[in-house]
C-alpha cells in the first residue's frame, strides 16, 4: 500500500517533484561512481603491491620455512634516461625451483627476461645505451610479473655462487634487496607499496566523507521537497511508521537506480582513470575494478545510507506534523556539536608521523564528520549575527534565511567548506621541491676499499672502449670507497646511458648512479603526492560545486512562492540575487576559512619542515576555485529564479 | 475626488481564452471598489493588470495620470514597491521574518534605514489589534492575525492604491468581517484607494461600490458610480 501510494504521489507531484527526483538520482550517480573510485584505488594499490611482492624476497630465516630454501633472490634498480629499471637476480638452489610470476619456468643461469616495455625500449635505443646491459634476452615477462603495464623489469638467471648473488649489497630498500635464500617466490609487498597504500587510505577518507555528505544532502533534498506533503499525510492520520516507510521506499528506489547507474558510469570511466600515472606508471584496467563483493557492498550501502539520511531528515515531520506545516521557529541547535569537534581536535596534538595510519585515518575522518556536524550550528550563529547587524533588505533576508534553516544553508556550502579542510590538510603536507642543482653529470658506484683502485682502472678502460670521455677517481673515507666517473657538464642523457651500459656489472650487485638517480624515488613520491592531491581536490571540488549547484537550484524551486511574492511586492531581482549570494557567501567565507584552519591544524603533527610554496599555492588555488565554483553554481540558478518569478501572480484566475 | 487609477479597454488573452475583453474601470482617491465574479471570470486578471503585475495585450492603465502599462518591468516593480500595497488570501508573509520585519520590508526596499523602518512598522501593530505580536513569525500567528500583519505591510509605505485578492478567503466569517473592517478603515484613514477582488457579497458590502466581471467583461456596477 505504501509503495503504491508513494509511487502515485511521486508521479502526481508533477514536474517540480520529478525534478527533485532527477536531482537526487544525478547526485547518487556521481556519488556512487566517485565512491567506487575512492574504494577501488585502495584495491588497485593492494593489487600492485601483491604483484610486485615476488621481487621483495622474504629470507627463509624470517619466513615460515626454516629449511628448504629453493632459490637465491636479489633485487636492485638500474636506470635509463629518467626511468628506473627493476633488476631481479635469481639462482635456483634445487632442481624444479618454482617459476616466478609471469614466467613459464625458473630462469636458467645466464638467461635474461625483459618486461614488454623494457624489451621495446631496448630495441628502440642504441645497444650501447641499454641493450648492451642485458644481452640476448630469452623471453618477455607476462603481466603477472609487473606492477604496472609500462614497468621496466629485467630478470637475470645466475648460478648460486655468482658474485651478483654473493657480494654484499646495501640494506637501503631504495637501492634494492640484498641476496636472500627463499623458500618460495611469494615475497611480501615492498615498503614503498605499503607507503602508497597508507597514503591512498588517507586520500580515500578525505574523498569518501564529502561524498557521503553529498549523497546525504541529496537525500535530504528530496525530503525537503516532500516534507510539506508528508506532514499533511501525518495530519490526516498516517502513522510515523507509514511516513518513514514511504520516505525510505522513495529514497531507496531512487538511490538504488542511481547506484547502479553510478557503477556503470565508473566501469565506463575506468579505462580513462587507468591512464592516471602514479608510482611511475599507468594502471592495468583490471586493477581498478574492486572485488565483486565490494561492488555489491557499495551497491547495498549507498541506497541504505540515502534511506537513513532521508529518515533523519524527516525526523521533525514524524515527531511533529505541525512543525513543518506551520513553520514554527526552528529549535536552536545544541552547543554539543561544537564540543564534539573540539574533543576530536584535542586528539591531534597527541599524534605524530609515527602514529599508526589507521588511527590517523580515523582521527581525520572524525574531524571531518564533526566539522560537518558543527557546520549548521555555526551557520545558525552567523545567521543571527547577520540578521541583527543587517541594514539592507538583502542581508536581512539572507540572515533570517540562515537562522530559519541553517541545515539547508549548510548543505549549499558544506561541500566546498569541507574541501577547504582537505585543502588545508593536504596543502600543509605537500612537500617542497627538491633542490635542483645543475651539478656536472657523474656516475658513482660504491666498491670495497681494497678493490677500489682496480675497479677504477676497469671503469677507465670500459669507458674509453665505449668512447665516453670521463675522469675516473676514487673518493670516500669509509670501508666502502666510491668510484666516481665524472662525465663533464656537457654530458647528455645518451652519453650517461652509454656510460651506464659500459659500467654495468662493474661492481657485482651494485648500480652506478647519478645524483638524479639517487633522488629518483623521492622525486617520484613527490610527484605522486601532487597527483594524488590534485585528484582528491578535483573530486572534492567537483562534488562540492555540483552539490552547491543542485542545492541552489532546489532552493529556488522550494521557495518559488516566497520569491514570487517578493517580486510581486516590487522587490528588484537584484535584491533577490544579492540575498541569495549573501546567503551562500557569508557562511562559505566563515566556514570555508574555518575548515581550512582546522585542516591545517590537523595536518600540523605530520608536517615535514615548514609550509611549502606548493602548499600555499594549492591552498590559494582552492580558495579561488571554491568561491568561483560556488558563485558560478549559484549563478546557474539565476535563470531559474527569473523563470519562477516571471509571472508573480499568485493565482491565474 | 479625481480618478487615481484608470484602466481603459483592457484586453488580456491566455491562448484562446479571453480573460479580459476590453474592460474600462476608474477608481477615485480614497474609494473602495469591490470586483466580484465567479471563478475564471477574469477578476484577478483585471487586478493584476491594474497593479502592473501583468501587462494587458491591449488597452492602457494610468496611475495619477501616468501611463504604467507601457513601463518596463523595472519601473513597474518600483511602482509596486512605492505606490501600491497588496493583501492576498493567505497573507503571503515571508515565513523567515518576524511580523515586524515583514511589515518593515517594503520600507527597507524603498531605502528607509532598518531601525526607522522597524519603528514605523511597529506603529501599525497596536491599531490593528496586534499588540505584542511584533516578534512572532508567521507560522506562530493565526490566520486573522497574519492578515492584519499583511494589511499593515500593504499600508506601511503610504501607497496610493491597495489591492486585495480574496483577503478573507481563508478566514471564518467573523474573522473575515473583522479583517475587512480593519482593511477598509485603515485604507481610508491613509487616504488610499482600495480594490478588492472577491466572490463574497459580505466582503463586497464593505466597499463603496461593486463592479461585476463575467467572461472578461464588466456587467454592471452597484453603489455610488459606474
Lateral strand order in the sheet of B17-28: B17-28, B3-14, B58-63, B66-67
Q: Please tell me the total count of domains within chain A.
A: 4
Mean pLDDT of A129-154: 92
d(CA A260, CA A483): 61
CATH of the domain at A480: 3.30.70.260
Mean pLDDT of A618-627: 80
Report the residue from A393, A396, A650 with minimal CB separation from B92.
Answer: A650
pLDDT value of residue B226: 37
Same domain as A315, residue A245: yes
Nearest to A588 by CA among A617, A551, A533: A551
CA distance A380 to chain B (A): 13
In chain A, what residues touch B68 (CB-CB under 8 Å)?
none
Same domain as A316, residue A240: yes
Residue of A nearest to B102 (CA): A397
Q: Which of A570, A573, A578 to mutate to test the interface with B (most CBs of B within 10 A)?
A: A570
Can you say whether residue A167 is alpha, beta or left, with left for phi > 0 and alpha for psi between -120 and 50 degrees? beta
pLDDT tens-place string over residues A90-103: 999 888 888 999 99
Would the pLDDT of A62 be above 70?
no
Can you say whether residue A551 is alpha, beta or left, with left for phi > 0 and alpha for psi between -120 and 50 degrees? alpha
Report the Cα B212 to chain-centroid distance in Å.
Answer: 17
Nearest to A572 by CA among A642, A643, A649: A642
Same domain as A171, residue A225: no
By CB atoms closer than 10 A (0-12, 13-18, 19+), residue A611 is: middle
- Cβ separation A571–B108 shorter than 8 A: no
Last residue of a domain, one of A520, A546, A577: A520
Same domain as A63, residue A41: no
A485-493, Cβ contacts within 8 angstroms, sequence gap of 24 or more: A485/A442, A485/A443, A485/A444, A485/A459, A485/A512, A486/A440, A486/A441, A486/A442, A487/A440, A487/A441, A487/A442, A487/A443, A488/A440, A488/A441, A489/A438, A489/A440, A489/A441, A491/A440, A491/A441, A493/A81, A493/A82
- 8 Å CB contact between A422 and A540: yes
- Cβ separation A328–B140 shorter than 8 A: yes
Same domain as A371, residue A271: no
Cβ atoms < 10 Å from Cβ of A596? 24
In chain A, what residues touch B106 (CB-CB under 8 Å)?
569-570
Same domain as A367, residue A250: no
**How is residue A74 written as a grid cell?**
636479489
By CB atoms closer than 10 A (0-12, 13-18, 19+), residue A236 is: exposed
Report the residue from A329, A567, A571 with minimal CB separation from B137.
Answer: A329
Nearest to A158 by CA among A513, A445, A505, A511: A505
pLDDT tens-place string over residues A512-545: 888 888 777 777 777 787 778 778 877 777 777 7
Q: B225 falls in which pLDDT band (50, 70, 90)?
A: very low
Mean pLDDT of A309-321: 62
pLDDT tens-place string over residues A327-341: 555 566 778 888 888
- 8 Å CB contact between A299 and A260: yes
Domain span holding position A495: 441-520
Same domain as A176, residue A99: yes
- Cβ separation B138–A397 shorter than 8 A: no
Same domain as A140, residue A288: no
Report the residue from A392, A403, A651 with minimal CB separation from B44.
Answer: A651
d(CA B48, CA B41): 13
Using alpha carbons only, give the angle A116, A121, A124 rounded to the nearest 5 degrees. 130
d(CA B189, CA B148): 15
In chain B, what residues touch A397 (CB-CB under 8 Å)?
94, 96-97
- Cβ separation A570–B108 shorter than 8 A: no
d(CA A194, CA A198): 6
- Cβ separation B96–A393 shorter than 8 A: no
- 8 Å CB contact between B121 and B100: yes
Report the Cα A229 to chain-centroid distance in Å.
Answer: 41
Same domain as A257, residue A156: no
In the stretch 81-120 of chain B, residues with CB closer than 8 A to chain A read 81-82, 84, 86, 88-89, 92, 94-97, 101, 105-106, 108-109, 113-114
Residue A233, domain member (yes or no)? yes
d(CA B116, CA B108): 9
Q: A434 falls in which pLDDT band (50, 70, 90)?
A: very low
- Is this structure's pTM higher than 0.90? no
Would the pLDDT of A435 be above 50?
no
pLDDT tens-place string over residues B98-153: 999 999 988 988 889 999 999 999 998 988 888 889 999 888 888 888 888 998 99
Same domain as A364, residue A411: yes
pLDDT value of residue A323: 46
Report the residue from B14, B81, B138 with minimal CB separation from A327.
Answer: B138
Lateral strand order in the sheet of B217-223: B84-87, B161-165, B193-198, B32-36, B209-214, B217-223
A–B interface: beta-carbon pairs under 8 A: 93
- In order of their start, the domains of chain B are 31-42+80-223 (3.40.50.300)
Q: Roughly how many angstroms between the first and final C-alpha of chain A, as a whole number?
A: 37
**Phi, psi dihedrals of residue B75, rounded to the nearest 5°:** -70, -35
Average pLDDT, chain B: 87
Identify the residue with better confidence: A9 or A252: A252
Same domain as A158, residue A131: yes
Residue A348, domain member (yes or no)? yes
- Cβ separation A652–B14 shorter than 8 A: yes
Q: A150 falls in which pLDDT band (50, 70, 90)?
A: very high
Residue A398, domain member (yes or no)? yes
Same domain as A378, residue A488: no
The DSSP call for residue A542 is H
Residue A113, domain member (yes or no)? yes
In the stretch 167-226 of chain B, residues with CB closer than 8 A to chain A read none
pLDDT value of residue B73: 82
Residue A237, domain member (yes or no)? yes
Last residue of a domain, one of A328, A361, A392: A328
B39/A contact by beta carbon, under 8 A:
yes
CA distance B81 to chain A (A): 4
pLDDT value of residue A476: 77
Residue A203, domain member (yes or no)? no
- 8 Å CB contact between B87 and B163: yes
High-pLDDT (> 90) share of chain A, %: 20
- Cβ separation B88–A393 shorter than 8 A: no
Residue of A nearest to B142 (CA): A326
Residue A192, domain member (yes or no)? no
Residue A358, domain member (yes or no)? yes
- Cβ separation A393–B108 shorter than 8 A: yes
Last residue of a domain, one of A486, A520, A554: A520
Amino acid at each position: 500500500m505504501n509503495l503504491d501510494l508513494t509511487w502515485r504521489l511521486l508521479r502526481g507531484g508533477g514536474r517540480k517533484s520529478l525534478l527533485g527526483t532527477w536531482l537526487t538520482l544525478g547526485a547518487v550517480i556521481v556519488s556512487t561512481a566517485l565512491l567506487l573510485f575512492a574504494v577501488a584505488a585502495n584495491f588497485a594499490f593492494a593489487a600492485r603491491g601483491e604483484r610486485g611482492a615476488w621481487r621483495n624476497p622474504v629470507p627463509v630465516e624470517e619466513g615460515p620455512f626454516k629449511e628448504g630454501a629453493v632459490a637465491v633472490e636479489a633485487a636492485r634498480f638500474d636506470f635509463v634516461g629518467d626511468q628506473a629499471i627493476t633488476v631481479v637476480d635469481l639462482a635456483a638452489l634445487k632442481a624444479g625451483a618454482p617459476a616466478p610470476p609471469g614466467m613459464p619456468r625458473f630462469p636458467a643461469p645466464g638467461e635474461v627476461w625483459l618486461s614488454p616495455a623494457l624489451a621495446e625500449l631496448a630495441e628502440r635505443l642504441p645497444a650501447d645505451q641499454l641493450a648492451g646491459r642485458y644481452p640476448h634476452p630469452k623471453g618477455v615477462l607476462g603481466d603477472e610479473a609487473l606492477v604496472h603495464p609500462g614497468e621496466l623489469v629485467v630478470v637475470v638467471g645466475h648460478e648460486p655462487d655468482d658474485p651478483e648473488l654473493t657480494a654484499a649489497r646495501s640494506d637501503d630498500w631504495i637501492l634494492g634487496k640484498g641476496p636472500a635464500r627463499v623458500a618460495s617466490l611469494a615475497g611480501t609487498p615492498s615498503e614503498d607499496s605499503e607507503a602508497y597504500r597508507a597514503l591512498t587510505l588517507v586520500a580515500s577518507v578525505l574523498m569518501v566523507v564529502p561524498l557521503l555528505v553529498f549523497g546525504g544532502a541529496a537525500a535530504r533534498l528530496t525530503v525537503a521537497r516532500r516534507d510539506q506533503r508528508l506532514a499533511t499525510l501525518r495530519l490526516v492520520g498516517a502513522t510515523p511508521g507509514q511516513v518513514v516507510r514511504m520516505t525510505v521506499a522513495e529514497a531507496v528506489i531512487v538511490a538504488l537506480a542511481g547506484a547502479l547507474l553510478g557503477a556503470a558510469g565508473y566501469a565506463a570511466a575506468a579505462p580513462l582513470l587507468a591512464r592516471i600515472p602514479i608510482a611511475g606508471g599507468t594502471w592495468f584496467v583490471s586493477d581498478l575494478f574492486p572485488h565483486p563483493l565490494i561492488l555489491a557492498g557499495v551497491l547495498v550501502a549507498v541506497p541504505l545510507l540515502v534511506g537513513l539520511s532521508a529518515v533523519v531528515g524527516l525526523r521533525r515531520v514524524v515527531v511533529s506534523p505541525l512543525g513543518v506545516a506551520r513553520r514554527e521557529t526552528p529549535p536552536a541547535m545544541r552547543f554539543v556539536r561544537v564540543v564534539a569537534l573540539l574533543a576530536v581536535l584535542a586528539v591531534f596534538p597527541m599524534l605524530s608521523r609515527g602514529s599508526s595510519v589507521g588511527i590517523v585515518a580515523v582521527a581525520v575522518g572524525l574531524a571531518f564528520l564533526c566539522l560537518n556536524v558543527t557546520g549548521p550550528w555555526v551557520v545558525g550563529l552567523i545567521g543571527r549575527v547577520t540578521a541583527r547587524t543587517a541594514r539592507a533588505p538583502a542581508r536581512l533576508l539572507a540572515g533570517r534565511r540562515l537562522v530559519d534553516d541553517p541545515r539547508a544553508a549548510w548543505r549549499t556550502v558544506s561541500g566546498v567548506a569541507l574541501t577547504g579542510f582537505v585543502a588545508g590538510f593536504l596543502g600543509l603536507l605537500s612537500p617542497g621541491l627538491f633542490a635542483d642543482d645543475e651539478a656536472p653529470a657523474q656516475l658513482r658506484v660504491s666498491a670495497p676499499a681494497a678493490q677500489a683502485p682496480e675497479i677504477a682502472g676497469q671503469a677507465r678502460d670500459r669507458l674509453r672502449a665505449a668512447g665516453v670521455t670521463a675522469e675516473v677517481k676514487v673518493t670516500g673515507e669509509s670501508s666502502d670507497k666510491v668510484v666516481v666517473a665524472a662525465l663533464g657538464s656537457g654530458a647528455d642523457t645518451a652519453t650517461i646511458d652509454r656510460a651506464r651500459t659500459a659500467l654495468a656489472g662493474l661492481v657485482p650487485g651494485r648500480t652506478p648512479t647519478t645524483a638524479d638517480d639517487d633522488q629518483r624515488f623521492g622525486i617520484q613520491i613527490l610527484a605522486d603526492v601532487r597527483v594524488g592531491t590534485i585528484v582528491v581536490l578535483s573530486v572534492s571540488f567537483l562534488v562540492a560545486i555540483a552539490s552547491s549547484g543542485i542545492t541552489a537550484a532546489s532552493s529556488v524551486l522550494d521557495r518559488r512562492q516566497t520569491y514570487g511574492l517578493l517580486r510581486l511586492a516590487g522587490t528588484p531581482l537584484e535584491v533577490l540575487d544579492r540575498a541569495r549570494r549573501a546567503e551562500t557567501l557569508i557562511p562559505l567565507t566563515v566556514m570555508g576559512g574555518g575548515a581550512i584552519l582546522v585542516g591545517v591544524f590537523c595536518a600540523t603533527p605530520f608536517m615535514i619542515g615548514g609550509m611549502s610554496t606548493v602548499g600555499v599555492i594549492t591552498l590559494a588555488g582552492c580558495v579561488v576555485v571554491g568561491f568561483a565554483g560556488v558563485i558560478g553554481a549559484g549563478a546557474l540558478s539565476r535563470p531559474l529564479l527569473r523563470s519562477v518569478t516571471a509571472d508573480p501572480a499568485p493565482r491565474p484566475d | 475626488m479625481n480618478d487615481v487609477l484608470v484602466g481603459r479597454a483592457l484586453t488580456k488573452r491566455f491562448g484562446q481564452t479571453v480573460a479580459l475583453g476590453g474592460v474600462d474601470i476608474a477608481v477615485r482617491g480614497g474609494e473602495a471598489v469591490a470586483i466580484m465574479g465567479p471563478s475564471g471570470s477574469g477578476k484577478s486578471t483585471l487586478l493584476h493588470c491594474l497593479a502592473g503585475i501583468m501587462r494587458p495585450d491591449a488597452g492602457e492603465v494610468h496611475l495619477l495620470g501616468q501611463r504604467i502599462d507601457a513601463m518596463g518591468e523595472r519601473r513597474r516593480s518600483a511602482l509596486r514597491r512605492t505606490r501600491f500595497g497588496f493583501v492576498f488570501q493567505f497573507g503571503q508573509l515571508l515565513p523567515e521574518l518576524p511580523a515586524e520585519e515583514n511589515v518593515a520590508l517594503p520600507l527597507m526596499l524603498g531605502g528607509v534605514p532598518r531601525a526607522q523602518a522597524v519603528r514605523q512598522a511597529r506603529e501599525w501593530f497596536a491599531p490593528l489589534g496586534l499588540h505584542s505580536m511584533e516578534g512572532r513569525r508567521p507560522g506562530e500567528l493565526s490566520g486573522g492575525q497574519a492578515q492584519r500583519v499583511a494589511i499593515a505591510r500593504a499600508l506601511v509605505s503610504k501607497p496610493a492604491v491597495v489591492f486585495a485578492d480574496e483577503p478573507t478567503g481563508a478566514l471564518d466569517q467573523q474573522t473575515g468581517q473583522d479583517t475587512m473592517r480593519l482593511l477598509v478603515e485603515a485604507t481610508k484613514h491613509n487616504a488610499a484607494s482600495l480594490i478588492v477582488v472577491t466572490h463574497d457579497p459580505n466582503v463586497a458590502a464593505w466597499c463603496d461600490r461593486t463592479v461585476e466581471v463575467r467572461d472578461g467583461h464588466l456587467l454592471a456596477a452597484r453603489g455610488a458610480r459606474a
